[in-house]
Amino acid sequence: MQLNPPIALDRRVRKSRQALCTALLYLLLEKPFEQITLQEITDRADLAYTTFFRNYSDKDALLKDLAQTQIERLLDLALPLFSAKDSSTSTLSMCNYVQEHRQIWTALLTGGAAANVREMFVRQVESRADQWPAQPTWLPASFGSVILSNITLDVLALWLNKAPATAPNEIAAMLAKFFKVIDDS
Amino acid sequence: MQLNPPIALDRRVRKSRQALCTALLYLLLEKPFEQITLQEITDRADLAYTTFFRNYSDKDALLKDLAQTQIERLLDLALPLFSAKDSSTSTLSMCNYVQEHRQIWTALLTGGAAANVREMFVRQVESRADQWPAQPTWLPASFGSVILSNITLDVLALWLNKAPATAPNEIAAMLAKFFKVIDDS
Amino acid sequence: MQLNPPIALDRRVRKSRQALCTALLYLLLEKPFEQITLQEITDRADLAYTTFFRNYSDKDALLKDLAQTQIERLLDLALPLFSAKDSSTSTLSMCNYVQEHRQIWTALLTGGAAANVREMFVRQVESRADQWPAQPTWLPASFGSVILSNITLDVLALWLNKAPATAPNEIAAMLAKFFKVIDDS
Amino acid sequence: MQLNPPIALDRRVRKSRQALCTALLYLLLEKPFEQITLQEITDRADLAYTTFFRNYSDKDALLKDLAQTQIERLLDLALPLFSAKDSSTSTLSMCNYVQEHRQIWTALLTGGAAANVREMFVRQVESRADQWPAQPTWLPASFGSVILSNITLDVLALWLNKAPATAPNEIAAMLAKFFKVIDDS
DNA sequence: CTCTAATCGAGACGGTACGTCGCGTCTTACG
DNA sequence: CGTAAGACGCGACGTACCGTCTCGATTAGAG
């Protein structure tokens, strides 16, 4: 029996954080993460500079808050793809998800924070390593997840960035081809 | 019979730049690129702070100078791998090269500048796109090189970082497996 | 009934500026203005280096802030000296004022900023030119104020610098003698 | 019996110094002494930057070389003015001299080096204090020369700067009037 | 007329100070 | 009394200028 969601945040706090997140999101479409200033973020969010620090300790903390959730959702859809059975299903549903949230994922993957996001992504995948039993035998332990993650992100980034017209199922097909290599003993 | 390198730089200049490059290289083994200070670099290079700017406009310019050459050399060895014939030969020679220059490539790929280096790498690969004719037919144009580059770098980075004991030919074998997917129509 | 001073500065700002002014004042007693470093000023004021620029655009701006007020006060006392009537009275009160603020005026007139202060002084005198009607007839327009200012400052500087024991009324007498030349047609 | 003039400087050296002096002179007409760069001086003199230091230790040394001679010549003409007899004669000849070298004295007195030149001037006058016996009795020792010097320079500077059309003898008359105050017991 | 030494051109370098920008803390003033 | 506005400490950056140095190339002037 749970009381409340983690400690039901003040509505104002939720609003501020939301504003900061979307502000960052839009800025990421314009310029690299490191070049984005807290001042710019708070300006765009229409909040006082100091308010930022009441909500996040850091610019990275904001990015994390922004990206972590997205990554989680994506992984919930994507992880089954490692289990060979419904690989194609999960791959496709992942691509559909990205398609639906095209803008946010464009910011995350092709914007300036790409490197950071990839790192978070890989770390999350590794922390869920136990969720799929079959490690490819021809790769050293933990090589698999890193490489798989990177290929996935590469394909998604290229899709969003260079070939936005491509249909989700085409992308899913490409990914599937790569995944098969790893599953093949 | 070669003329002279473009303008044969002053010996002092060459020395300074060399000092700065090696200074950066060692610092990259210790901490992320963005956290490295120009002061630290010049201190380690035993040069005056202002001398940095006489040689490079930027911290990035230094990294570029440092990495670009290395990448070129690596690509000279690696590029034939795209032409299916001697794929395995070139892959192996590339791995051997990395093995021989393990330290520098560890700094570049697993240190803090990894993201930048990857970007440079991809850009160079793309600019040499004409050097291997066979583009995979099942991938949109220019997807191939990016993904191939990233897989290559992923594997190399993991090798240097997590499994340094592995022999070059084992790594080459892994790479070959991935490359085959792309070549397969 | 006056509203408020222009915008009633933050108490911290007032404090910082005050600290910077007095810091400069003391340093002027030690060395020429040009040799005084912003670092020295902020060190002595016990403020961060960058805080200087939040309060003044320039070292000169600080000096101006420091000197302008003093000059104004002095001129309020001194200007009547040009109207022949109470010449002696105003000259004496000016000398007394300088005597009372001996230290600050020593810094301004005999310290390293003397040249700048003289210039400000002359400029202020000229801008108040309308406050005394009688221009000497035997001098080109505007010669009078400049020369008068310089003589005044020369005498004051020498007094503070070389003959500090002299009584104010003696100095006033000297000045009076010079002023008489100008008033004499 | 003297061997050679001080050591007959190399013709090149003489040329360089001359070029540097005139370069500075012209620059002084444009901007304050402190804002003049060694680079600017050597550029204008069409000499290498390092050549400056082969001839002068300092920017001040150059100014001194430039001004000292001029001041000497002026004082040779002007000093008799302190001996009441031929006051008017010497004052006039001084004014004539300045008129003839109008440009150089404009640079020295109204340009950016005015403060330094004044100081040199006063110092030279004081070092020649013995050349005129009659110290005014109503002024503390050594007040006389400083004030006299400053008045002289003030008048000359104003002349050159604001009333260039005025004839030398008019200026001489003004000066005479001031000098009389001091000579009067 | 040559030879030698001083001077010059060119520019890298060490170093000091300046002024700017951004982060994160902390205080003030205001609603 | 809590929140905005924003001053402040701090650290890094990049610039400008000074004065030193090295290395050739040039030239003056003595023999």
Tell me the chain C residues in contact with residue D147 when contact means C-beta distances shorter than 8 Å: 151, 154-155, 158
Residue C134, pLDDT score:
56
Q: What is the overall mean pLDDT for chain D?
A: 85
Tell me the chain C residues in contact with residue D150 when contact means C-beta distances shorter than 8 Å: 150-151, 154
Residue D1, pLDDT score:
38
Does residue C2 register a pLDDT over 50? no
Helices (H), ranges, chain C? 11-28, 38-45, 49-55, 59-78, 87-100, 102-110, 114-127, 143-162, 168-183
What would the pLDDT profile of B46-76 be if each residue is shown by its tens digit? Answer: 999 999 999 999 999 999 999 998 999 999 8
Tell me the chain C residues in contact with residue D35 when contact means C-beta distances shorter than 8 Å: none
Percent of chain C residues topping a pLDDT of 70: 85
**Between chain A and chain B, how many beta carbons pairs sit less than 8 Å apart?**
57
Does residue D141 register a pLDDT over 60? yes
Q: B142-146, B154-158, C76-80, D87-91: which has the highest mean pLDDT? A: B154-158
Interval C157-161 mean pLDDT: 92
- pLDDT-derived band of residue A12, with 50, 70 and 90 as boundaries? confident
Does residue B81 register a pLDDT over 70? no
What would the pLDDT profile of D143-165 be if each residue is shown by its tens digit? Answer: 888 888 888 999 999 999 889 99
Tell whether pTM > 0.75: yes
Segment 75-134 of chain C within 8 Å of chain D by CB: 114-115
> Whole-number Å distance, CA B13 to C1' F22?
13
- Min Cα–Cα distance to chain A from B183, Å: 12
Of the listed ranges A28-32, C15-19, C39-43, D6-10, the one predicted with least confidence: D6-10
Residue B85, pLDDT score:
58
Interval A119-123 mean pLDDT: 91
- pLDDT-derived band of residue A120, with 50, 70 and 90 as boundaries? very high
Does residue C61 register a pLDDT over 70? yes
Q: How far apart are CA D155 and CA D109, in angstroms?
A: 10
Does residue B42 register a pLDDT over 90? yes
Residue of C nearest to D148 (CA): C151
Interval C121-149 mean pLDDT: 78
Q: Is there a contact between D39 and D49 (Cβ–Cβ < 8 Å)?
A: yes
- pLDDT-derived band of residue A10, with 50, 70 and 90 as boundaries? low
Does residue C8 register a pLDDT over 70? no
From residue C99, give the alpha-carbon distance in Å to each of C156, C160, C164, C167, C168. Answer: 10, 9, 9, 9, 7
- pLDDT-derived band of residue B20, with 50, 70 and 90 as boundaries? very high
Interval C71-87 mean pLDDT: 76
A59 closest-nt by C1' vs CA: E23
- pLDDT-derived band of residue B5, with 50, 70 and 90 as boundaries? very low
Residue with the larger pLDDT of the pair D81 and A179: A179
- pLDDT-derived band of residue D129, with 50, 70 and 90 as boundaries? confident
Interchain proximity B140–A180, CB inside 8 Å:
no
Q: How far apart are CA B92 and CA B141, in angstroms?
A: 27
Interval A19-32 mean pLDDT: 89
Interval D3-27 mean pLDDT: 80
From residue A96, give the alpha-carbon distance in Å to each of A124, A169, B88. Answer: 21, 8, 37
Tell me the chain C residues in contact with residue D115 when contact means C-beta distances shorter than 8 Å: 114-115
Residue with the larger pLDDT of the pair A85 and A16: A16
What would the pLDDT profile of A131-176 be if each residue is shown by its tens digit? Answer: 665 566 677 767 888 888 888 998 999 999 888 999 999 999 988 8
CB atoms within 10 A of CB C15: 13
Interval D118-132 mean pLDDT: 85
Does residue C5 register a pLDDT over 60? no
Q: What is the overall mean pLDDT for chain C?
A: 86
Interval D26-43 mean pLDDT: 93
Residue A13, pLDDT score:
75
Ramachandran region, residue B46 (left: φ > 0; alpha: ψ -120 to 50; beta: rest)? left
- Min Cα–Cα distance to chain A from B122, Å: 12
What would the pLDDT profile of D163-176 be if each residue is shown by its tens digit? Answer: 999 999 999 998 88
Interval A78-101 mean pLDDT: 80
- Min Cα–Cα distance to chain D from C34, Å: 9
Residue A135, pLDDT score:
61
Interchain proximity B139–A34, CB inside 8 Å:
no
Interval D78-84 mean pLDDT: 66
- pLDDT-derived band of residue B36, with 50, 70 and 90 as boundaries? very high
Listed as own residue / partner, the contacts of C178-184 with beta carbons closer than 8 Å and 24 or more positions apart are C178/C148, C178/C151, C178/D181, C179/C81, C179/C82, C179/C87, C179/C91, C179/C148, C180/D181, C181/D177, C181/D178, C181/D180, C181/D181, C182/C136, C182/C139, C182/C144, C182/C147, C182/C148, C183/C84, C183/C87, C183/C134, C183/C136, C184/C136
Residue B131, pLDDT score:
67
Residue A131, pLDDT score:
67
Residue D6, pLDDT score:
46
Does residue C16 register a pLDDT over 90? yes
Take residue D165 and report the two structure tokens written for it: 């059309």
Residue with the larger pLDDT of the pair C19 and A113: C19
Residues 6+ apart with CB under 8 A from B62: B20, B21, B24, B41, B52, B55, B56
DSSP-derived secondary structure letter, A4: S
Nearest to D34 among C34, C142, C180 (CB): C34
- pLDDT-derived band of residue C81, with 50, 70 and 90 as boundaries? low
Does residue A112 register a pLDDT over 80? no
- pLDDT-derived band of residue A3, with 50, 70 and 90 as boundaries? very low
Residue D144, pLDDT score:
82
Residue C3, pLDDT score:
38
DSSP annotation string for chain B: ----STT---HHHHHHHHHHHHHHHHHHTTS-GGG--HHHHHHHHT--HHHHHHH-SSHHHHHHHHHHHHHHHHHHHHGGGGSSTTHHHHHHHHHHHHHHTHHHHHHHHHSTTHHHHHHHHHHHHHHTGGG-----TTS-TTHHHHHHHHHHHHHHHHHHHH-TTS-HHHHHHHHHHHHHHHH--
Residue C4, pLDDT score:
41
Q: Which helix (H) or strand (E) holds A90?
A: helix A87-100
Q: What is the overall mean pLDDT for chain A?
A: 83
Q: What is the overall mean pLDDT for chain B?
A: 85
Residue D8, pLDDT score:
59
Residue A28, pLDDT score:
87
Whether chain C has a CB inside 8 Å of the CB on D176: the answer is no
Percent of chain B residues topping a pLDDT of 70: 86
Residue with the larger pLDDT of the pair D41 and A177: D41
> What SS3 class is residue D133?
coil
Percent of chain A residues topping a pLDDT of 70: 85
Percent of chain B residues topping a pLDDT of 90: 50
Q: Is there a contact between C12 and C48 (Cβ–Cβ < 8 Å)?
A: no
B18 phi and psi angles, rounded to 5 deg: -60, -45
Q: A9-23, A79-93, B43-57, B133-147: which has the highest mean pLDDT? A: B43-57
Does residue C120 register a pLDDT over 80? yes
Interval A63-86 mean pLDDT: 80
DSSP-derived secondary structure letter, C163: -
